[in-house]
Amino acid sequence: MTKASPYTGAVLEPERIVIAIIAALFIGVSKAGFGGGLGMLTTPLCVLAFGPHQAIGILLPLLCVGDAFSMVHYWGKWRKENLRFLLPGVVIGVLIGVQLIGRFDKRQLNLAIGLLAVLFVLFQLLKQVIFRAEGEFQPNFKLGTGFGIGTGITSTFAHGAGPVVSMFLIPQNLPKTLFVGTNVLIFTWVNWIKMPFFCLGQDVVSLPWLPKVSLINWETLKISALLTPLVPLGVWIGVVLNRRFSEKWFTRAIYTFLLLAGIQLIFNFDIAGWFGAS
């Protein structure tokens, strides 16, 4: 008898469908450079919908689609030398990250992703104080390798490397368009570096430096394919919002939702039980 897919039930539940749709749209909107920490909200949302192991596998193809559309919009509007400084460390970080994924259970992964979400909000609140030093920071290999390793680990573990890359880019005092374009360029490379490690696990190829189980498989790809059309729609929405609206209050709302999602993942509150739901 064929074993039922663990993803099927999650997709059929209406509330999970809504959460997944919102997460996919948020990927596109954030890739267009609108909403500050909106991209960080996608992983906690997908974790709430599908669980941590499934969520990171479902999200990576969607992130790559968002990167492709964003690359078109921001083509050439980046500081490409940042790649030289970051990518060697990113490869090391990804190798470490795939090992960490296999060593944590669902509750531990939820806790880690929740902590990343909360720490990101705190970082956004404090970054002006942290980077108040005068003069522009000049990126280099020594710092870039360290930040690259941190980027690879957190991006592999929870698609949560936004704060690490921001800490490397913000002191460079880049104009907004150049900052967003450089982010797009960096994460396009980071996400494609992760792809073979997510598609191959020790269940497919017996190599000790691969994750124990493939994070991307036919089941996750089906879900990713269903959500894919929402990503370019989100990019278009983000571009329109970027041109027409101030993101100040929108960003504050996103940080609030991200903080709440992070707290929920950390403490695992029985919200349904509070309202007497079964």
In a domain, 2, yes or no: no
In a domain, 237, yes or no: yes
Structure tokens, 25? 């749209």
Who's near 267: CB < 8 A, 6+ residues apart?
Answer: none
**Domain around 237:** 8-274
Q: What is the pTM of this model?
A: 0.78
For the chain, how many structural domains are there in total? 1
pLDDT of residue 11: 42
In a domain, 3, yes or no: no
pLDDT of residue 206: 62
Of 15, 39, 17, residue with least CA distance to 234: 39
In a domain, 130, yes or no: yes
In a domain, 1, yes or no: no
In a domain, 219, yes or no: yes
pLDDT of residue 247: 60
Positions in the chain whose pLDDT score sits under 70: 1-12, 33-38, 102, 104-106, 109, 127-137, 201-212, 245-254, 258, 269-278
Q: What is the DSSP letter of 159?
A: S
Q: Quick check: 224 and 62 in contact, CB under 8 A?
A: yes
In a domain, 85, yes or no: yes
In a domain, 265, yes or no: yes
Q: What is the pLDDT of residues 111-137, one digit of tens each?
A: 777 787 787 778 777 765 665 554 556
> Rounded to whole angstroms, how far apart are CA atoms 211 and 69?
29
Structure tokens, 63? 């992130």
